Structure 1
Amino acid sequence: MMKTAFLGLGVMGGYMAANLAKSGYDVKAWNRTPNRPGTQIAASGGANIVSSINEAIESADIICICVGDVPDVEEVVLGKNGVVRSAKPGAIIVDFSTIGPEAVRRIASQAQSRQLSFLDAPISGGDIGAKNGTLTIMVGGDREAFETCKPILEMMGKQIFYCGPSGSGQAVKLCNQVLCSLHMVGLCEAMLLAKRQGIDPQLVIEVCSTGAAGSWALTNLGEKVANSDFAPGFMIKHILKDLRLVHEVLPSENPLPGVQLADELFKIVSHLDTEGASQGTQAMIRAYLESAVENNPQ
């Protein structure tokens, strides 16, 4: 069985590493900040927590990465203590981060010059999908490397898609994030409309989930919106990063108005207080509630 490393044990990475270890894989895991909840989750699943990237990857056949943004991936892969410095030739890097197609192609090119394969494999499904091993994984890169890694991906995800050459997984993920951000707009506005009409939001969730308006967001986040539960499964600061990547792909003279609206609403929440940016995307409802308070002062 292939030896694996897992770098980045955040909200999702900790569960993913744990699921991989529970499936019988030899997993050495590392997190930039020790003693985080994700580190404990990975360890409880059987992953061996180590103190450096080098220790994690020195004998690894597959090197999984799940971090935040482009600079984080560049540091982990290309930095002075990065993967390319000590990974064995022929190893495959699988990056689950969302960093956009351009960054992927640049990083993949440098990895390939060190005899390493690089797959971009962004994920969707939030902390729920990471915990349950039901993530959707969108993969770009060399097809042979994908087939080699597929058994490992299937330990962490339920729907595994090969999307094409390097950067293709990222391209599909950005489309996914457009849908996710606009689903949240619709969910928040439906909850507000229900309240305005004296309808129990729980009834709206129950009824609308069964018809054409049903969505992952309604089923998994509707009740959280209704109950003002803003604990993060996917943080607002991360969706804002993803929408920034969407804007970078599009010509400035031809923006997407729905994306602009969602971006504006998420930014309102991120600036409300010190907690806003780290709350879950369902906290978008706070932007609407704040507006209602301002427009209807006591």
Structure 2
Amino acid sequence: MGINEKPTIGFVGTGVMGKSMAHRLLHAGYPLHIYTRTKEKAEELMTSGANWQASVADVANHSDVVITMVGYPSDVEEIYFGQRGIIENARPQSVVIDMTTSSPELASKIAEEAAKKEVSVLDAPVSGGDIGARNGKLSIMVGGEQKIFEKVAPIFEELGSQYVWQGLAGAGQFTKMCNQIAIASTMIGVTEALVYAEKSGLDPDTVLESISGGAAGSWSLSNLTPRVIKRDFSPGFFVKHFIKDMKIALDSAEKMELELPGLRLARQMYEQIAESGEENSGTQALYKYYGLQN
């Protein structure tokens, strides 16, 4: 890579958010290699100039920076470890960035193993959903060595409006758990407010207009409530993935001997709507919980 050349990026996982993130990197002029389990999902990116690779090992072999955005901690383990995993096949001196929401313990394990191969790792989960990914307005929470964070900051700048170094390996994931804990209880309040407005005969649109600019204002209220009013439950972030995140946070809190009753209630409510068939809906589908109670 020349002095003025952009690093070649490998991107693993082009789902709801990953696809938009990869598009932004392509449009910013980064050479991009991609891999996803279902090649058809990557066709649009390939048409836009991304290079398809047949495995995560091949992506790692061809890239200066590897970004991963997959579903579950088990998926992260699968793509990072083993003979055909990212760590074993990444170039020495390359940087690997896991943007999946995963466990802090796993983030630390990946960083430790990668260091043996002279590979630097950042855990950098994000918040902002499909809207933030599409518009480059994600909030990125980063753990790992600060000098590596500064090295790849131009990449984060293309993906997010806010990217903050939080500390060493695992700190990004701990910060994302703080984010998910805050959202979990917020979503209960947001959906209950909407149900209450509708039951009392108010126009939900005008109620939203009044309360979103006041003390009740939140990202969830402004961005997800309009979808619910339109009965749009398509995923910006899957219910099943939110349940996964809440489990990680509760397990972590238990290790710290910390009780989080609001988070525990939110998880129970989301599990109930998942069992009713909403696991692949967006998190705003919590609205349907109240229908299940009648």
Displacement after TM superposition at 1:179 (Å): 1.2
Alignment correspondent of 2:43? 40
SS class of match (2:241): helix
Alignment correspondent of 1:283? 285
SS class of match (1:174): helix
1:66 aligned to 54, 66, 69, which one?
69
Alignment correspondent of 2:17? 12
TM-score in terms of structure 2 length? 0.95
Displacement after TM superposition at 1:254 (Å): 4.1
2:268 aligned to 249, 264, 267, which one?
264
1:127 aligns with 2:152: no
Alignment of 1:1-298 (within 5 A): 1-36=6-41, 39-251=42-254, 254-273=258-277, 276-292=278-294
Displacement after TM superposition at 1:257 (Å): 1.1
Query: Identity of aligned pairs, percent?
Result: 39
| Change beyond 3 A, Cα 1:45–1:175 | farther
How far apart are the structure 2 equivalents of 1:41 and 1:176? 31
Deviations 1:156-177 (A, max 9, x none): 1110101011111111100000
Supply the AA of the counterpart residue of 1:261.
L
TM-score in terms of structure 1 length? 0.93
SS class of match (1:136): strand
Supply the AA of the counterpart residue of 2:262.
G
How far apart are the structure 2 equivalents of 1:41 and 1:261? 40
Displacement after TM superposition at 1:65 (Å): 0.5
RMSD over aligned CA atoms reads: 1.3
Contact 1:64-1:93 at 8 Å conserved across structures: yes
Displacement after TM superposition at 1:44 (Å): 4.6
Contact 1:15-1:41 at 8 Å conserved across structures: no
How far apart are the structure 2 equivalents of 1:93 and 1:249? 24
Task: Tell me which moved more, 193-202 or 251-260.
Answer: 251-260
**Structure 1: where are the runs of 5+ without partners?**
293-298
Contact 2:33-2:62 at 8 Å conserved across structures: no
Deviations 1:66-118 (A, max 9, x none): 01111111111113311122211011100000112111111211111111111
Task: Tell me which moved more, 96-105 or 71-80.
Answer: 71-80
Deviations 1:136-183 (A, max 9, x none): 000000111111111011111110101011111111100000111111
How far apart are the structure 2 equivalents of 1:212 and 1:41? 41
